[in-house]
Amino acid sequence: MSDIRPMDRRLQLSGILVIVGLLVEGLCLLWSRPIAFVVLVGLGGLLIAAGVLLFLYSLAIVDRANHNAR
């Protein structure tokens, strides 16, 4: 695990955030209470957005690193 690339580390974190966000969303869809709507948007949406943004950020970082290396 020590030789894992920083890009891979960010992908893993992004994936974990997305998985947890998706699971929260899935549970909210099974939970027929008004509070489920708030949890879906507030917690599920936040986790998914954080995962997606981290993924996009990691792409930008790699692209910049490649550009600097040339």
63 binds other proteins (CB under 8 A): no
Map residues 19-58 to x or -, x wherever contact with other proteins holds by CB under 8 A: x-xxx-xx-xxx-xxxxxxx-xx--xx--x--xx--xx--
Q: What angle do CA 21, 58, 28 make, to 5 degrees?
A: 5
DSSP letter assigned to residue 49 = H
> How many CA atoms lie less than 13 Å away from 68 in the CB half-sphere?
6
Least Å distance between CB 59 and other proteins? Answer: 9
Q: How many residues bind other proteins (CB under 8 A)?
A: 36
61 binds other proteins (CB under 8 A): no
